[in-house]
Amino acid sequence: MRGLIVSMPSMINEVRNCLGDYSSSFDVTTELDSELSGYDVIGIVGTDRFIIMNLHKLNSWDGPILTIGFDLGFLNSVDLPNLNRAISAVVNGDYDIENILRLAVNIKGKRLPDVINEVAIFPMRSAITLEYSLYINDEYLWHDVADGLIVATPTGSTAYAMSVGGPLLHSRARVFEVVPVNSTNLARVPVVVPEDAVVRVRDIVSRSRVEVIIDGSVRSYVGNEIRVSAGKPLKLVRVGGVSSTIGRYERKVSLMANMDLPPSAKFILKILEYEGQLTQREIAEKTMLPSRTVRHAISVLMRRGLINRQVILRGGKEVVVYSLILTSR
């Protein structure tokens, strides 16, 4: 077996050490190459954001993918200390493949990177509403005015979608969900659709330019229509006989316990999950929330024990950063 592991630069030495006796069978790099035909498996080591960024680059890859994070996150196969054990299982064929639903997004015939978690449709300016019509399989469902709209996979149902009232979907359910965000009509509730459904958001109107945000990172402007359907599944390696739903149970319970958080605090939690350490100013820039709102949300999250505050060196200067407090199993 021949494998490739793409790692965050800061972790590459630790990855090489963890490989141990398997180092001769696995190439380690910090950048994915366009030529991957010589590999049987690809591993990605890093933060959630780093993993998702590289998964977007692997749209055409049809082989198994092993994801390794700092802890057992929503998408990770294993945590870093167990990398050697996971590689041993892969080499010996002692693993399962979980087909993770991804979503294909098309805007005016342009295909965007496949969605792992969610595609969010929002006006670029805050405090501006969005008007749209929703169609499922060309059947008109409703017209709505809301802050935005989220279309999420089962994996993404535990993230941003859940924070705005969407249901939890089992990771192996062959469905995805459409979740209005702060609709002006209480009848506009989340809708769960089968994976073979085609969702069209049409007649999009707003006083601000509207954009789609894929997995919190890839942004693209929207005209007046967007099409969302099931894409090619992600073949995620699972070791130890634990399904992703069971393996993520503790973090789901933790999230459910914090459903009464202010929307701004939930949003900041999501941003920190994707981005890693951020300063208060960086949080404000990425969320486009007012500084006062960011300060209040940070204080709430600190009191709940969900984030921590650290002083680190950047460019020779001390800066204060905030990051998620990772739970262990």
Q: How many residues comprise the chain?
A: 329
Task: Retrieve residue 313's tokens.
Answer: 């060196």
- Indicate if 48 belongs to the active site: yes
The residues near 272 (Cβ < 8 Å, ≥ 6 apart) are 278, 283, 307, 322, 323, 324
Helix, strand, or coil (residue 66) = strand
Backbone angles phi and psi of 129, in degrees to 5:
-90, 165
Are the C-beta atoms of 171 and 245 separated by less than 8 Å?
yes
How far, in Å, are 44, 75, 87, 245, 275 from residue 66 at the CA level?
Answer: 6, 10, 9, 17, 20
Q: Which of 21, 48, 62, 203 is catalytic?
A: 48
Are the C-beta atoms of 255 and 162 separated by less than 8 Å?
yes
Are the C-beta atoms of 58 and 21 separated by less than 8 Å?
no
Sign of CA dihedral 147, 149, 154, 155: negative
Sign of CA dihedral 206, 119, 269, 15: negative
Query: Which residue, among 277, 218, 213, has the nearest Cα to 55 in the 3D structure?
Result: 218
Task: Retrieve residue 177's tokens.
Answer: 């969900």
Q: H or E segment at 43?
A: strand 41-45
Taking the C-alpha atoms of residue 201 and residue 78, their distance in angstroms, rounded to an integer, is: 36
Neighbour order of strands in the sheet with 139-146:
110-111, 103-107, 225-230, 199-205, 130-136, 139-146
Residues labelled as active-site residues: 48
